[in-house]
Copies of this chain bind each other. A is one copy, B any other.
Amino acid sequence: MARPAHTAPRTTGSTASTGADVGTGGLRERKKRATHQALQRAAVSLFRERGPNAVTVEDICAHAEVSPRTFFNYFTSKEEVLVPWDQETITNTPERVLARPDAEEPLRTAQAVLGEAMNTAMSGSTWRDQAVILRENPELIERVVTAFRAMESSLVEGLARKTGTSCEDPYVRLVGATAITALRVSVQAWQESESDSSLHEYMDEAFERLHRGLRPNEQ
């Protein structure tokens, strides 16, 4: 049930984005990135082939050519390979919130910051497949939500600092939680639409509705 902090190889500085910055850091850094990526690629690939239920951690590690034990040095659970954001993006969030204009309404700020975050996520090499897996196995969203919650906290922290209140402030919390929810709904709608339209269009629509107090469309 509860997942305590694991003994993951610490991320010593520098970006940990999957795609970029490949040559940065020492040998160690590079190897860690390689292992992480290998595991993620293997997992996502197998998940798509057979469906997540039919893939064991052992399978993943066989493909990634590491010991099964190693998997849990990088991910706390089997499903964590599906989270769209890296740690960097999450920890960055408060700063990015503070970087927004002072006069901006919190909901708008959240919209903008989450938009940026999704851009980062979508530039990852496995995003497409991840999206397909989540569409075909909606149950998994529950598990992935843990990562969303981390983002929510980060968002709330930023908003709290920006508005000069605390993270426990009900208003700030509500904005954070609602924004994440809007994101979730948008991603889902976007995935189901097999669409040519971009995720951002769905996000804009959702946030616009929120901003209008969720009133029904006057037509």
Contacts and interface: CB of A to CB of B under 8 A. Distances in A.
Report the copy number of this chain in the oligomer: 2
Contacts of A146: 142
B178 A105 contact: no
B1 A163 contact: no
A186 to B, nearest CB: 8
Interface stretch (A9-17, A67-75, A120-128, A169-177): A169-177
B177 A2 contact: no
A109 to B, nearest CB: 11
Contacts of A206: 170, 174
A50 interface: no
Interface of A: 1-3, 52-53, 78-79, 105-107, 137, 139-140, 142-143, 145-146, 149, 163, 168, 170-171, 173-175, 177-178, 180-182, 184-185, 188-189, 192, 202, 205-206, 209-217
